[in-house]
Amino acid sequence: MAGVLGGFVPIWVLTAIGFLAARTNVLGERGEAVLGRFAFYLAMPAVLFTTLVGSDPAALANRGVLAFVIATFVVGTIGLVLFGRVFRRSLPDRALGAMAGAYVNSGNLGIPVAVGVLGDSSFMVAVVLFQPVVVMPIVLAAVELGSGQRSGALRTLATLPVRNPVILGSLLGVVVAASGWQVPALVLDPVKALGAAGVPTALVVLGMSLTALRAPDRRDRAQVGAAVALKLLLHPLVTFLACLALGVDGPLRLAAVVCAALPTAQNVYVLAREYRPDARLPGDAVLLSTALSMVTLSLATVLLR
């Protein structure tokens, strides 16, 4: 157990450093924004590219990924019904609530967890590709259908892989690996050096974002609690059951369940801010699930190992 938890120690420490840095304002008012953009646009794509260029693209498609995909759609459907029938939300808000319960933070936290705890980021790469390419268009379609904002939707979806550097870095890595081309060390070594900063920077930014954590408004507490329960409890549970049904065990089952136990992605809040005047529910779900996920991720890893 000590060995398993040891993989989380760097994650906890770096997140705590980011939290303290934000509370003391040592990096200035724009520190979080600048570091976040560095991680998102430069360092994290470098991590994914250097990981994938030496991998087998066929390994990205496996029963563990299938179990995660099935669980994502099951939990997303439950969330859609829950926010519609119980909380009486509109279609766009139902879609965003369901997304908050089933869309994992595979970038800022998922990749550090994969590298530090699982020792292999290939499973997380498959999720990085699956969510924006498959899940995001479905949610966008529901949000725009309910909001009446269809202009530019097709262009937005079509250019998403090019505009998102994390997806672009992953796709380039897959293409290079599939081609069999050996990237010269003169080119690859600087990219690896850049990628080495990706995981610690992302965790520091994650810690800085937690300073915004606050108690949800009374009328929103039940909805925020439901979204967080879907994300941190139901999503990993359904993924575990899907793994049992598909005969997935060992490290692949661990990767699938730990991935499902990740908190709500910040993309959900970004999307809500873009389309909805009130983005408090997704924002609170992101912050609360992120804070609690340090416990649930550790428990999932200990139990499944």
Q: Residue 94: CA atoms inside 13 Å, Cβ hemisphere, count? A: 20
Distances (CA, A) of 36 to 39, 142, 178, 273: 5, 28, 30, 18
Fold of 2-304: Na+/H+ antiporter like fold (1.20.1530)
CA distance 77 to 97: 11
pLDDT tens column, 50-88: 877 876 666 667 899 999 999 999 999 999 999 988 888
Contact partners, residue 139, CB within 8 Å, separation at least 6: 95, 96, 98, 99, 103, 271
Q: Across all residues in the chain, what is the average pLDDT? A: 80
First to last CA, the chain: 9
pLDDT of 122: 74
pLDDT tens column, 155-188: 655 665 666 676 788 778 878 888 888 888 888 8
pTM of the model: 0.74
Q: What is the DSSP letter of 215?
A: P
pLDDT tens column, 200-237: 887 788 778 777 666 666 667 888 899 999 999 999 99
CA angle, residues 258, 111, 298, in degrees to nearest 5: 35
**pLDDT band at residue 279, thresholds of 50, 70 and 90?**
low
Spatial contact of 283 and 272, defined as CB atoms under 8 Å apart: yes
Spell out the domain ranges in the chain.
Answer: 2-304
Q: Residue 1 pLDDT more than 50?
A: no
| Single-letter code of the amino acid located at 33 | A
Radius of gyration of the chain (CA): 19
CA distance 23 to 41: 25
pLDDT tens column, 116-134: 777 767 788 788 778 876 7
| Single-letter code of the amino acid located at 233 | L
